[in-house]
Structure formats: structure tokens, C-alpha cells
Amino acid sequence: MSLSDKTNKLGLNAVFGDEPEPLPLFRAWYAEAEQAEPYDHTAFALATADALGRPSVRMMLLKGADEGGFAFYTNLNSRKAAELKANPHASICFHWKNLRRQIRIGGPVTPVSDAEADAYFASRDHGSRVGAWASLQSSPMVFPAELRERLAKLQTQYPEGSEVPRPPHWSGWRLEPIEVEFWFHGDDRLHERLLYQKSGDGWERSILHP
Ligand SMILES: Cc1cc2nc3c(=O)[nH]c(=O)nc-3n(C[C@H](O)[C@H](O)[C@H](O)COP(=O)(O)O)c2cc1C
């Protein structure tokens, strides 16, 4: 009998487990995805909306998941940053094709602390740190060679091996989950879905129709 044939106490597939809160299950699936996905299990879609509720979505990389939430980093002048400032709520979605699993997480977002952003920025390779200064993310390029020229100047200013400070326009956000939904592929499109919703200090679990 394979794991996907077994069920847990709720009668759900055993891959859902019986945890009363979502983080342990997220961590377990994330660790399995690291093994199963050939390229970047940390990638997720981040959906934001502007002040009028008009949505936009893009892929991002997860840079931390703990009791405080799910952290990601970007340019603070980007479209997503403008939307998160106007409407500090987001929804993120992981899809791990080889595992045939999806996790959707929603909730309010708050900026990470400067100390946290500094620490993560310092962990990036030199080229990415210089690149963060060079890119005016989401702004139109005035002329095609603009980025190359900016980059060349910055590479002279910050040669390989030198300290590169975190740009003031580069930091991160943390999404505090208030709902987390785990989805597992089922035969004949009878997929299985487990929803955790924040309720007071704890979580409510419910099963959703496919
Ligand atoms: C797999 C993948 C991961 C990405 N990760 C990030 C990321 O962590 N941070 C980021 O700013 N952009 C990342 N990007 C680029 C974004 O998808 C997007 O193009 C960029 O952030 C500008 O988005 P915006 O104009 O909506 O702000 C990634 C793209 C892909 C395809």
C-alpha cells in the first residue's frame, strides 16, 4: 500500500496528517518538494491587489517560513510593492508538479525589519547585491542599454569581494497566514483539500469539495 492509498483520522489522504495547525504540514510538504522538484521548490505565485481591488500576480522565491509567517524580498519601488503598500493583504500559491500538490496561503503582510532585510541581503551573492542597486524594477527602461550602463558603473563602485550595502529601495515583507489550504491530486479530478482557518489563538480545520 503506498502513502497515497492511506487515509488519516479525517478520512483524508495520509499526506495531510493530523496536525492541529498548518505550519508542520507546510514544512513537511516543503521538504518533500525540495527532493521532488528538479528546479526551485521555493517558487510561489504572489497575488496582490491595488487600492481598487484590481489583482496582479507574479512568481517569487520564499526566503523564510516560521511561526511569524512567510517572508519574501523585492524592490520597494516595484508594482507589487506599491500594491502591498496600498492594500497590505496577499495570497501566495505553491504548486509542486511532481508531487501533484498545491498550497495556498492568505493573510495580511507587514514589512520585515531593517535588521532582517540587512541579514538576508548580506547572505546574497555579490552579483545579486549589485544587481539590486542596478535594477529599477518594474519601471520602463528609458533606453535599451540603460541597465547595462548602470550595472557597469556599479561594478566599478562595488568590485567583486567588496561590501555592498542594502539599497534603501530593497527589502521584504512577511505574510501572516490566516488561511492555509493544502490540495492533493485525486483520480478523476476528485482532489482532496484541507483548509486551515485562523480562529482566535488556534486553527479550525475543514475539508473542502474538490
Ligand atoms: C521563479 C521566479 C522567482 C522570482 N522571484 C522573485 C523574487 O523573489 N523577488 C522579486 O522581486 N522578483 C522575483 N521574480 C520576478 C517577479 O516574478 C517579477 O517579474 C518582478 O518581481 C516584478 O514584479 P512586479 O512588477 O509585479 O512588482 C521571480 C520570477 C520567477 C519566474
What pLDDT is stored for residue 119 in this prediction? 97
Decide: 89 and 107 in contact? Cβ < 8 Å.
yes
Cα Rg of the chain (Å, integer): 20
What pLDDT is stored for residue 1 in this prediction? 53
Q: Which of 54, 60, 112, 173 to probe ligand 1 with, by most ligand atoms within 8 A of CB?
A: 60
Given the CA of residue 60, which atom of ligand 1 is nearest to it?
A: 5
Catalytic residue among 27, 54, 79, 189: 189
* 189 carries an active-site annotation: yes
Given the CA of residue 138, which atom of ligand 1 is nearest to it?
A: 25
Cell of 81: 510593492
Q: Which of 31, 22, 67, 2 is nearest to 183 (CA)?
A: 22
Ligand 1 atom 14: the closest Cα is on which residue? 60
What pLDDT is stored for residue 15 in this prediction? 85
Decide: 116 and 195 in contact? Cβ < 8 Å.
no
Given the CA of residue 74, which atom of ligand 1 is nearest to it?
A: 11
Q: Name every residue whose Cβ is closer than 8 Å to that of residue 60 and which is 6 or more positions away in sequence.
A: 43, 44, 45, 46, 72, 74, 92
Cell of 202: 488556534
Cα 80 to middle of ligand 1, angstroms: 9
Mean per-residue pLDDT pooled into runs of 10, the chain (210 residues): 67 84 97 95 98 97 97 97 98 97 98 98 97 94 92 96 97 98 90 96 94
Cα 199 to middle of ligand 1, angstroms: 32
What pLDDT is stored for residue 189 in this prediction? 85
Q: Which of 58, 78, 129, 141 to probe ligand 1 with, by most ligand atoms within 8 A of CB?
A: 58
Beta strand segments in the chain, E? 43-49, 55-61, 65-66, 69-75, 89-96, 101-111, 170-175, 179-184, 192-199, 202-208
Cα 59 to middle of ligand 1, angstroms: 5
Count CB neighbours of 194 within 10 A: 23
What pLDDT is stored for residue 2 in this prediction? 59
Ligand 1 atom 10: the closest Cα is on which residue? 74
Residues paired with residue 71 on neighbouring β-strands, in sequence order? 174
Burial of 76 (0-12, 13-18, 19+ CB in 10 A): buried
Q: Which domains does the chain have, with CATH numbers?
A: 3-121+171-208 (2.30.110.10)
Decide: 118 and 201 in contact? Cβ < 8 Å.
no
Q: What is the Cα–Cα distance from 85 to 109, expressed in whole angstroms?
A: 9
Residues with CB under 6 A from ligand 1: 43, 56, 58-61, 72-75, 78-80, 137-138
What pLDDT is stored for residue 11 in this prediction? 74
> What single DSSP character describes residue 187?
G
